[in-house]
Amino acid sequence: MPNQSMPDRFPSADLHAASQLAVSVVVCTYRRPELLDLCLASLMGQADGVSHEILVIDNAPQQDARPVVERWHPVFAGHGTSLRYVVEEKAGVAFARNRGVALAAAPLVAFIDDDEQAIPGWLEGLVAPFADPGVDMVAGEVDPDFGGHPRPDWLTDGLLHIFSCRWGWDTEPRFLKPGEWFGEGNCAFRKRLLDGGGFPTDVGRSGDGLMSSEGMLFTALRAAGATVYYVPDARVSHRIHPDRLNKPWVLRRMFFQGTSDYIAHRRYGLRKLPQNFSLSLEKLMTLDVQTLDPASLQAMSSLYYQLGYAAASNMY
């Protein structure tokens, strides 16, 4: 059986420095070695600002990420940054995230996804607010990256939230208000917040599934009093995959987001959303999704969210 964790390979003189890390950067990855390579390249530019380590948690049994990490390992080591590779055999991003948090050596944990790239100054901007003991979590901004593919005419800024991009809460740093949310692809938090439990493993992305635990745990922490500070200049770019750039995917994604949110609201004792919509199933079944203009698509995506939420209330 192959070794599932590359050794840290810290020189002995650096062991004490490892215990003084400011932040552990966790990159969860699943069968996207080319994008992971770009992500790690972007993290090289963060090496001088904040004392940190990087943990790559590979959720694929094929271990596609191993050669990428092995190639980058000596480069990061030359800059005094530990790069660790770990295989999480249980399928699902929540298992990978929980493994990363459990292994993190620093009191702060930052997440960046394998299909994201950090903009220069990202890590420093994400970590700086924690100098205030009243800050529990920090969220940054996410810019869409279409990877050379044209942005569809129907994909308005109002729909980019569906792709976990462009929160757009403000142009200046500030605490987020209730109802202003963020994703797990560009955030940091105090590790101690998760001492009572981790990310829910029965909900969330696994393979190609569209159930989502995005923000679920952080929503519960906020309901319990945790604070979130938003830093618009702590930016990453997020690759939007071409197979998702179609209207049916958007509606399916919103349906399953509604289902996931109902489960979260029930599980954590949060206020459930009112179900105050009406529709004709006959008309819905005969609707040509491809003909929807941007405004109609946004309205229809909201309806699909409510349908998913209502479906979950009858299933769970």
3-class DSSP assignment, residue 5: strand
How far apart, in Å, are the Cα atoms of 15 and each of 54, 82, 85, 102, 308? 15, 11, 18, 19, 49
Partners of residue 139 on adjacent β-strands: 187, 230
Residue 220: the pLDDT is 86
Amino acid at 214: E
Does 281 have pLDDT greater than 80? no
Helix then strand then coil, % of the chain, to nearest 5: 40, 20, 40
Does 93 have pLDDT greater than 60? yes
Q: What is the pTM of this model?
A: 0.83
Contact status, residue 140 vs residue 234, Cβ threshold 8 Å: yes
Say if residue 163 is exposed, middle or buried (CB neighbours under 10 Å; 0-12, 13-18, 19+): buried
Q: What is the mean pLDDT of residues 108-120?
A: 97
Say if residue 276 is exposed, middle or buried (CB neighbours under 10 Å; 0-12, 13-18, 19+): exposed
- Half-sphere exposure of residue 290: CA atoms within 13 angstroms, side-chain side: 0
3-class DSSP assignment, residue 202: coil
Residue 10: the pLDDT is 29
Residue 47: the pLDDT is 64
Confidence band, pLDDT 50/70/90 cuts, at residue 6: very low
Does 113 have pLDDT greater than 50? yes
Residue 12: the pLDDT is 31
Q: What are phi and psi of 156, to 5 degrees?
A: -80, 165
Strands 116-118 and 186-190, how do they pair? unpaired
Does 273 have pLDDT greater than 50? yes
For residue 208, give both structure tokens.
């190609």
Which residues are CB-contacts of 144 (< 8 A; sequence separation ≥ 6)? Answer: 151, 160, 163, 165, 166, 237, 238, 240
Does 114 have pLDDT greater than 90? yes
Confidence band, pLDDT 50/70/90 cuts, at residue 282: low
Helical axes 247-267 vs 216-223, angle rounded to 10°: 40
pLDDT, tens only, 116-163: 999 999 999 999 999 999 999 999 999 999 998 999 999 999 899 889
Rounded to whole angstroms, the Cα distance separating 130 from 128 reads 5
Rounded to whole angstroms, the Cα distance separating 248 from 241 reads 14
pLDDT, tens only, 24-64: 999 999 999 999 999 999 999 786 678 999 999 999 999 99
pLDDT, tens only, 53-84: 999 999 999 999 999 999 999 999 999 999 99
Contact status, residue 254 vs residue 301, Cβ threshold 8 Å: yes
Q: What is the mean pLDDT of residues 255-270?
A: 80
Does 168 have pLDDT greater than 80? yes
